[in-house]
Structure 1
């Protein structure tokens, strides 16, 4: 059984990657999070792009643990804000990871933007770094629009205000399986599957 480190302390991301691997029939890989390995100094996310941040996190984790490591950096790019909050999504309101404050600030900022100009996309870059230094970086995008009020309780972050293209429900109103099938992170992680299958010896 190959151990694969997902460089996150976010339990929901761990569950998501495990679900995707299971759904795709990838066995022989045990996905563990940062809580399952000895602590190491994690570099701050200072990259200008999702790809830079994801690669830095995965490379740090692979170097420190000797395990193959996956990391993702994701966020919401809003057309009316010229692609922001983008890489600043998790700390848009100033405090890192305050989902409600981030969401409230964003809704306030585009309050006057008409419905037809409220386009946005969730973006996820995922990086896989092997102990030998081999790097794979991929990107998944999930286009949609930002609605005016929160709906749903299944998601986190900006999910309650994001309606994916072709949907009437917000990302927070979708089931976990529906979200995995279509989400930006699901799309990015699936692009890593060929390398993950090799790791699993499949």
Structure 2
């Protein structure tokens, strides 16, 4: 049985506005005031872990210690069966522009293209099975922590479709659906996503429902 969150402020250990919006919406019913690490001016710690769990804990611990408040970190990514689970923990790294690819920053269309290029290089009959993983790490300033893991399976499509998501959402079609995550209304995506799966486990543990 992990420690329980009370009401009050919870630091969301992210500088990603899209991720903050999603997480805040999922936690809105539980009386928590979500504030981002970015809004507090906290630096982003190097994500040196080799797993989603390790990276989520790095971010949650750093934010909790710096802010003196409970912190929640999400580490998530896309894994492609035919690519031996890549990009996996390097999901965001694949979107980072190299020196010859323009101004520094993340280009998700480029990242989606890298995945597609590798799949096409394997031939037209290559399976396109993929899954999104999400690990949520809760950390308190005194060092206590809790971990919740979620997953959603699907297939990759090309070209990208939809404008409602972020990251690799425009090329991911969840199982038993025809629309990509970026074509689904946010409420539909929240109901089935890897983050929703992990949050359901967090809510059941933290809030008993």
Superposition TM-score, scaled by structure 1 size:
0.89
Distance 2:143 2:178 in 1: 43
1:34 corresponds to 2:37: yes
The 1:113/1:140 distance shift into structure 2, 3 A limit, reads: farther
Distance 1:147 1:194 in 2: 33
The 1:127/1:113 distance shift into structure 2, 3 A limit, reads: farther
Stretches of structure 1 that go unaligned for 5 or more consecutive residues are none
Stretches of structure 2 that go unaligned for 5 or more consecutive residues are 1-6, 98-104
The 1:193/1:113 distance shift into structure 2, 3 A limit, reads: farther
Q: Which residue is equivalent to 2:89?
A: 87
Alpha carbon RMSD of aligned pairs, Å? 1.9
TM-aligned CA deviation for residue 108 of structure 1: 0.8
Q: Any conservation in 1 of the 2:82–2:126 contact (CA below 8 Å)?
A: no
Superposition TM-score, scaled by structure 2 size:
0.86
* 1:31-180 to 2 correspondences below 5 Å: 31-37=34-40, 39-92=41-94, 94-95=96-97, 97-111=106-120, 112-114=122-124, 117-180=127-190
Distance 2:205 2:68 in 1: 17
TM-aligned CA deviation for residue 14 of structure 1: 1.4
Distance 2:154 2:87 in 1: 15
TM-aligned CA deviation for residue 35 of structure 1: 2.8
